[in-house]
Amino acid sequence: MTEKEKMLAGLPYDAGDKQLREERMHARMLLHKFNHSMPDAKQERVAVLTELFGSYDGGTIEPNFRCDYGSNIYFGKNFYANFDCVILDVCEVHIGDNCMFGPGVHIYTAGHPLNAVERNSGIEFGSPVTLGESVWVGGHVSILPGVHIGNNVVIGSGSVVTKDFPDDVVIAGNPAKIIKHIDNK
Q: Which residues are catalytic?
A: 112
CA 108 → CA 86, 103, 159, distances in Å? 8, 16, 14
- 10 near 1, Cβ under 8 Å? no
How far, in Å, CA of 179 to CA of 71, rounded? 34
- 135 near 149, Cβ under 8 Å? yes
How far, in Å, CA of 172 to CA of 177, rounded? 6
Q: How many helices (H) and strands (E) does the chain have?
A: 4, 19
